[in-house]
Structure 1
Amino acid sequence: MFGRVIPKNFRNISLLSRVWSGPNGALAGKQAEQKMVTILRDKFPKASLIEVTDVSGGCGAMFEVNVVAPEFKGLNTVKQHRIINEILKEEIKNMHGIRIHTSAQDT
């Protein structure tokens, strides 16, 4: 009586089919990578490493960001990640997820 009733014409939509893949599929992921690298390069001109990788298979839904910059010196990991989140907040709105790795470079 309290069970879920599924009509006969109900169509199950795969969750994976609903993941945003951008207008050009893999191209969208590469363009997003390049855009984020440019944004981070502007904010961290002395960084020894800035890498952005689409880890979603090219659809632009999940990214991994690596930044090694002197601006992080003396900041804990949470503060470092908050800086990255704030810098990339507009790009993050269009993502499923993001992995962030940061550290202060030795000068």
Structure 2
Amino acid sequence: MTGFTGAPPPPLPAPLSLVSNRLDDLERRHDDAPPRSVLRTALLDGADRHAALARVAVLRLHDRLAAEARQGAAQRRRSLPADRTAGDVWLSRLAAALAHHRNAASILFLAGT
């Protein structure tokens, strides 16, 4: 999944004056600092944009972790004799990690289309 190309580009940021107005509204409604989730939603132009950016971030994380597991498995296979690869615990763990991250990224990708 390294270098996935089907993800939509992140939405454009809101104009600075609109963000400033939202922050002013939050400060008027809260005596203390506004909750982080509310502040994040206001800064990122709404809950939909926040969810889209979070989804893209998780996709990139799974993409990177799958690439690391793939490289680790390749290095481990190269370092082992051919007769010991079938029973190697670390190679099995790396293969399981690769399968997990590929499946997770695929599910997120298909859910967003």
Fold shared, TM-score > 0.5 on shorter chain? no
More helix by share: 2
TM-score (norm 1): 0.31
More strand by share: 1
TM-score (norm 2): 0.30
